Amino acid sequence: MKLEKYQDKNNKKRKAVLISLGVIVLISVSLLLYKTFASFTESAEFPMMKGKVDYFGNSDIYFAFYKGDEELDEMPQKGNEENLVFDHGECDNGASIIWDSEEWAPLVKGLNKVKTKCSLYFNKLGDVELYGKKIPLVNSGNGLYKVEHNDVIDEMTEYRYAGSNPNNYISLDGEIWRIIGLVNIQTEYGAEQRIKIIRTNGIDGQQDLGNYSWDYKSSYNNDWTTSTLNMMLNGIYYESGTGECYQGSSIPNTCDFTGENGSVKGIGEVMQISINPELIYGYKYIWSLGGMGDYTSKNNGLVTHFYSYERLGSVYPNNPIVWDSNNYLGLMYPSDYGYAVGGNVRNTCLETEMYNWTNETCGSNDWLKPQSGNYWTIQSNVYKPNEVFYISSNGYIRGDADVTNSYGVAPVAYLYEGCISEGDGTIDNPFIYMPVLCGY
C-alpha cells in the first residue's frame, strides 16, 4: 500500500515535470518563431535584379512576368529589342511593388507572409505621331508620357512632357518656349487638342517675366477675368509695350516689355497671331476656371483631383467659371505641374497629395518646378475670396497665397498642332513652329 502511494506520488511528480518541460519548450519555440517572423517582417524589402524565383521551391516569393496576357519565361532586360518597358506590378498577401527604372529592378515592400506571388507586367510603348513627327513614349525618366482621362470631364488621351528636363523646347520666330504637352482645350465649337506652351525660367538664357501680384485693385479678389495680372499679360506684355503693373504694392510700377534697353521682351508679331484663334479662325478659346477648396484632406489633393476641379469645380461666389474674352495668355494649372513629374518616382508622386510633395520626392523630377521662389497658377481657392494656388520651389502646391503677393509669372498659351516642321526638341535644336504650314 505504501509502495502504491509512493508510485502514485512519483508519477504525479514525473507528470508535473513533463508538463513543465513541455510548457518551456512551447514557449521557447514560440519565441523563436516570433523572433524569426519579426526579423522577416523588418527585412522584408528587397530588390530582385533579374531572373526568376522558383515557384515556392526554396523561396517564400515567386515572380511571374507578363507581356500583356502572355506569361514570359524570364524578366525582360533593360534595353531589350522589343522595347518592352515596365507597366505595373501586383502582389498578393498585402505586398506591393516599387519599380526602380535605373536599376531595372522591382523592390518588394510589405512582405510579411510566406508564399507570396508577385506579377510584373511589361508593355511596348512605341511612338506617337505628334506634329508630324514620331515621338517615342516613355513611362520613366524624361520624355513624353501618355495621360488618359476616363471620367465625367472628357474621355480623352493627352500627352505630357515630364521629368527633370525633357526635350520640349520650341522656337517661334526666335522666341524660345517649352511645350507642356498636347492637351484638350474647349472652344465655342467644342473640344479640340492644342499644343500647350509655357515661357518659364531656364530657357536658353531667357527668364520668366519676374515677380508680379496676381491682383491688386481696390476690391482685389481671385477672379482671374478681372485681375491686374491678366490685364498685364493680355495687354502690355502681349503687345510688347509699356504700362502699369503691380509688384506687391498698391502703387503701380511702369513695366517695359519692348525688349529695349535690357527689358524683358513681350510677344512678337508672329506669336501674337499664332496664339490668337480669333485672328485665324474667328473663335475664342474657353479656359476653365474651376476652383478648389479642401486640398489638404486625405485623397483630395492628387493631380487627378486638381484636374477635375479645374474643369468642373465651383468658384468663389460671383466669380465666373470660364474665361472666354481677351484670353490669349494665361497661367499654368496646378495639374500641369503635377502631370510634369517624371523619373522613377512618377507613379508614387501621382498617388501622393500635392501639398505633401517635396523637392526631394517629386519636385526634383518635375521640370515645371520653380528654380527659386514661388510661381502663380491660374486656379483660385473657393473658400477664400483673395487666395490663389501657387507652386513652391520646395516642390509642393498650396492654395493660401494672397493675390497681392509678388510671385513669379510664367505665361501660358496654345498653338495649333500641325505647324511644326523641324527640330528634335533639344535646347540646341528646338522644334520650329512655322505658321505657314497651317495656312496663315
| pLDDT (tens digit per residue) in 343-355 | 989 989 999 999 9
The yes-or-no verdict on residue 227 having pLDDT over 80 is yes
The yes-or-no verdict on residue 25 having pLDDT over 70 is no
The yes-or-no verdict on residue 78 having pLDDT over 70 is yes
Q: 431-433 and 169-172: which strand pairing?
A: parallel
At 125 the pLDDT is 75
Q: Are 70 and 95 within 8 A, CB to CB?
A: no
Q: 285-288 and 175-187: which strand pairing?
A: antiparallel
Mean pLDDT of 206-226: 86
At 9 the pLDDT is 52
At 14 the pLDDT is 59
| Residue keyed to cell 467659371 | 321
Confidence of residue 171 (pLDDT cuts 50, 70, 90): very high
Mean pLDDT of 60-69: 85
Q: What letter does residue 181 receive in the DSSP assignment?
A: E
Q: Are 44 and 111 within 8 A, CB to CB?
A: yes
For residue 347, with 0-12 CB atoms within 10 Å meaning exposed, 13-18 middle and 19 or more buried, which class applies?
Answer: middle
Distance separating alpha carbons of residues 259 and 344, to the nearest angstrom: 40
Burial readout 415-434 (b: 16 or more C-beta within 10 A, e: otherwise)? bbeebbeebebeeeebbebe
E strand or H helix at 100, and its extent? strand 96-100
How is the beta sheet containing 374-380 ordered, strand by strand? 211-213, 406-408, 374-380, 387-392, 397-402
Least reliable range by pLDDT among 177-186, 274-283, 395-404: 274-283
Least reliable range by pLDDT among 35-44, 106-115, 233-242, 248-257: 35-44
Residue 200 CB neighbours (<10 A): 25
Q: What is the pTM of this model?
A: 0.75
Nearest Cα residue to 367 out of 162, 198, 176, 177: 162
How is the beta sheet containing 46-47 ordered, strand by strand? 46-47, 105-109, 96-100
Confidence of residue 96 (pLDDT cuts 50, 70, 90): confident
The yes-or-no verdict on residue 306 having pLDDT over 50 is yes
Confidence of residue 366 (pLDDT cuts 50, 70, 90): very high
Mean pLDDT of 164-188: 92
The yes-or-no verdict on residue 252 having pLDDT over 90 is yes
Q: Are 204 and 169 within 8 A, CB to CB?
A: yes
Least reliable range by pLDDT among 29-43, 287-301, 332-346: 29-43
| Residue keyed to cell 524624361 | 142
- Give the DSSP letter string of 350-415: HTS-GGG--TTTTGGGBTTS-SSSEEEEEEEBTT-TTEEEEEETTS-EEEEEETTSEEE---EEEE
